[in-house]
Structure 1
């Protein structure tokens, strides 16, 4: 897999996932334009996330049966259609339908990850996964910055049209330049779905999945709650200024792009443990937001670095262990990601309402500690050292 192919696949991941999170900076204007009350605008993001969860179960396993290159192109085309529908929506129900379509087919990300693993020689699998999955975090964090900027220039509809155009371009480009996927399975779709649920009984898979749940719950605690203290006393930052915190997170995540090489060298277990210790420690700095901005920015950088390192290590281990079902395995693993992200997003607002940002910081640290304990205990349960 050449550098150009890795870059293209990373961009595919970033654009697809950005379509799910693009509404976060523009919820207010979208609600005003489409007649949605302020207490319900969160559904513009939630609908896409629910669609994404459905796609993980129903669509990602198709990658173990069909040509992944064609799936990537087809799903990108449908993401583009969903975003275009959203941009042109005259009423809220049409926008919700477009966002649901974009969310369902945004699971092209997981098909892309499985495709990357299948094309990579064993000695380079971790490296390639590290680069490609960096696009996912770039899409999640970058969407906050880019969408806000585009909406200032062209309005919220313009930002969705821009993403739709880019997804359509990537659809054609992927079909034209990506290497052919000559591995096409013959196993019935129903049997593949049964194997999807059967993975949850596998100790190695479940251990890494549970780590992912705590990992992304901690991640969601930060990014779904950070705007609350920054907009209040003593900072009173604007939405644009708050969005710039995404740059620190993006720097941390991209800094971990080469972390897959540690897995290639056989150090994935130790590196995962050390990264989870860093994740726990990052909350000590993030929790100082009441009196400092410098320390929390450093903490955000470390947190996103640690999250990306663990995420790449998890996928490296799972695609190496379940080589005959990489698409199904990645899809099932990401169920933990979705559930963890949703838990963190809802729990952090509740914690903030009760105890302010210190309460959210304690929650984030507790979730990071849960990931660390799970990593340690899952290694003992498997009985063959650290996973």
Structure 2
């Protein structure tokens, strides 16, 4: 197949290719969340305390954020299909290290490697936007992000289920093999895609700073989404700890099933993409921010009743996806020639928020248990809501006017 570019593209992604990208994104992102449902088992296996095991959640997210900052901008320099394939193969190596680890040090090293190279998912997101039919970039982004979301949510259930069948390492072993097969499938099915004017790496990194300085919409949307994901990460970093403790005492498999409550967020992801294409994202942003804040009330009640916890997870994930997909769809359309760099800035901030939220959640848990975690999560959700309201007011005043394109 001839080389495709992100500009003046006569060929767009077919439905099977989009579906493959969605599945690949889910596999890449989901692998970073297996440990959240397995923390207690990991701690017992390596003979460490819950706080040490919980550190693996932060390591995975920090590694992912570093990969977003330093690796994904290369999508504006390198051929994107080949880049995504190579990154998936490297992530598979990281999962293999975790899956066959016999020491906590090797487990953490594999967690770091898998997190760093799983940013293949964020190479595919701007690629889906670049190869979209006119007026359908938001739809493509929403569909691919739906796959990413379902992968994250199913990851906890799959991890818990396979842990019950074998032990906690089985899910990593299966994922390593599956990622290799998925990478080969992507190489066969996806079209090539390259920036019309590939840029030197140093220039790519420098231009990201320029974009951050000159694009107020990028700053505002990134801040709002980072705070929203930080709030959600407080819950996910401590979920296994509260659900495995008295009075609920759930198993790994049961904890994984609780995560399925958020699968309905995939519906919001697709709807948000369409609404963004129609210019109606601001209302969805407000609704998402308010929903996220309110979700902490049933989550607090959920420490003694699993059904309240399930309801809180469902409501929380609806709110997060409304905020994230709306913002990311908007970012994808701001500067088409800088999609990978814009997405890298946005997602670096997004997962930096997740890393901070995980660390703050574990700290709050150690300080005051589930009450401390819920209080921390609610404060971060309130800050996210304030940031969303500020961003919406700004966009209404400015009409999302853009600065000069990055050079």
Fold match (TM-score > 0.5): yes
Change (3 A) 1:101 1:351: closer
Q: Which runs of 5+ in 1 are unaligned?
A: none
Counterpart of 1:81 (choices 80, 83, 93) is 93
Change (3 A) 1:38 1:311: closer
For residues 109-128 of structure 1, the aligned pairs below 5 Å read 109-128=121-140
Alignment partners' CA distance in 1, 2:387 and 2:55: 32
Deviation (angstroms), 1:168: 0.3
Alignment partners' CA distance in 1, 2:39 and 2:306: 26
3-state SS of 2:168 partner: helix
Counterpart of 1:56 (choices 68, 71, 86) is 68
Counterpart of 2:191 (choices 179, 201, 208) is 179
- Confirm or deny: 8 A CA contact 2:243 2:303 kept in the other structure: no
Counterpart of 1:225 (choices 238, 243, 248) is 238
1:61-81 residue CA offsets vs partner (Å, 9 max, x unmatched): 100011111111111111112
Alignment partners' CA distance in 2, 1:38 and 1:291: 20
Query: Which 10-residue stretch deviates more, 328-337 or 161-170?
Result: 328-337
Alignment partners' CA distance in 2, 1:351 and 1:317: 34
1:218-261 residue CA offsets vs partner (Å, 9 max, x unmatched): 11122222333333343333332222210101233445333211
1:149 paired with 2:127, answer: no
> RMSD in angstroms over aligned alpha carbons?
2.4
1:45-104 residue CA offsets vs partner (Å, 9 max, x unmatched): 443333222211211010001111111111111111222233233444433333322221
Change (3 A) 1:117 1:300: same
Change (3 A) 1:225 1:314: same
1:333-376 residue CA offsets vs partner (Å, 9 max, x unmatched): 11222221122222233334455434433332322221221122
Query: Which 10-residue stretch deviates more, 232-241 or 31-40?
Result: 31-40
1:367 paired with 2:380, answer: yes
Q: Kindly indicate which of the two structures has a greater share of residues assigned to helix.
A: 1
Change (3 A) 1:349 1:96: closer
Change (3 A) 1:94 1:285: closer
Where does residue 398 of structure 2 map in the other structure? 384
Q: Which runs of 5+ in 2 are unaligned?
A: 1-12, 402-407
Where does residue 247 of structure 1 map in the other structure? 260
1:72 paired with 2:56, answer: no
3-state SS of 2:32 partner: helix
Alignment partners' CA distance in 2, 1:48 and 1:232: 24
Where does residue 284 of structure 1 map in the other structure? 297
1:326 paired with 2:339, answer: yes
Alignment partners' CA distance in 2, 1:353 and 1:41: 13
Where does residue 162 of structure 1 map in the other structure? 174
3-state SS of 1:42 partner: helix
1:167-199 residue CA offsets vs partner (Å, 9 max, x unmatched): 001110001001221545322110110112223
The two structures have a TM-score, normalised by structure 2, of 0.87
Deviation (angstroms), 1:281: 2.2
Number of matched residues?
387
- Confirm or deny: 8 A CA contact 1:65 1:189 kept in the other structure: yes
Query: Which 10-residue stretch deviates more, 202-211 or 37-46?
Result: 37-46
